[in-house]
Amino acid sequence: MTDAGQRIITDNVIQPFQMAKAGVRGRVVRMGSVVDSILNRHGYPEAVGRFLGEGLVLAAMLGGALKFDGIFTVQTKGDGAISMIAADMTTPGDMRGYASFDPEKLDEKAAEGSSLNVKEYLGNGYAAFTIDAGEEHKRYQGIVDLEGDSLAACMENYFDKSEQIDTLLRVAIEKSDGKWRAGGLMIQRLPDENATEFNQDREEENWRNAQALAGTITSQELTSPILKSAELLYKLFHEDGVWLYEPQELQDQCSCSAERVLNTLKTFGGSDMEDMVEDGIITVDCQFCSSKYEIRVDDII
C-alpha cells in the first residue's frame, strides 16, 4: 500500500493516492495546528470559521494537483452575512485564509437558527478558483454559482458542468475546546481515451463502487487527530488496494512581504496615496496574517 522509504506525516498534510484496481485517484487532507492558527488568529465566529476552514481544505485538496510552482486560490463573493472568503495554497504547502462578514447579519442568522449552508450564510454570488503560475504564465480561473449546501458541493458542480470530470468531495470542520481541526477527501475518475465499450462499463462500475466507499466516511474520521491518512484510506479502500504517493506537508505561512507591499504601492497614483500617508509613512496591515508594514513614501517614489 505504501512506497518504500516514503515519509510519514500524520497531520497538516496532503496525501495523494490512487486506487490500485480502479481508474480513480484522490487526495486526503488533514489539518490541525495550521487551520487552528489561521482561524483563531482573527477570532472568527464559529459560522465564519467553518466556511473559511472548508475553503482552506478545498484549496489544499485542489492545489495539491499543481505540478509547478504557483498559487491555488479558492474565493467566494456573495450578498450574505459572510460576504467574502479567500483561501489559498502556495506550493508546496503554504496556507493562508481570510474572511469578511457583517456581524449584525451574522447575529440575525444565529438568532433565526438558520442552517449552516451556503445559501443561508453566503447568499447569492459565486465561488471561484484561480491558478496563478507567475507572470510568465497565463492565469486560469474557474467560476461557479454559490449553489448547494456546502462549498464542496459548489466545487463538485463546477467539475460536473465545466471540466466534465467525475469528482466527489467530502469536507469536515470541527471545533472542540477552542481548537479547530479540518479534513477532506477528494476522488476523481481518471479518463481512459482507449477504453472499449466493455471497459467503459467496467469503469462505470468501478467509479460507482469508489463513490459508495468514499460516501461511508464520517466527519469524525476526517478530523480525527489519531487516525492516520494511510489508516483511513486502508479502511475505505482495502478491498481494491491503494497506492500512496509522496505526501505534501502544510504550514501556516503567508506570502506577504515588505517587498510585495512596496511594489503594490508603486502601482498607485500619488493622489490615491495621500490619505494613507502619516508623517511620511504608509502603514499597511496584511488582512491574512495581520503583519504590519511601514513603508516610507520616499522609497515609493
Average of per-residue pLDDT across 249-262: 90
* pLDDT attached to residue 1: 47
Contact assessment for residue 23 and residue 134, using Cβ atoms and an 8 Å cutoff: no
Length of the chain, in residues: 301
* pLDDT attached to residue 282: 86
List all residues 6 or more positions away from 56 whose beta carbon is below 8 Å from its beta carbon. 31, 34, 35, 38, 87, 95, 97, 182
Through-space distance between the first and last CA atoms of the chain, rounded to whole angstroms: 58
* pLDDT attached to residue 122: 96
What are the tens digits of pLDDT across the range 115-158? 889 999 999 999 999 999 877 778 899 999 999 899 999 999 99
What are the tens digits of pLDDT across the range 5-60? 556 677 999 999 998 777 899 999 999 999 999 999 999 999 999 999 999 999 99
pTM: 0.90
Q: Give me the domains of the chain, ranges plus CATH numbers.
A: 13-252 (3.55.30.10), 258-300 (no CATH)
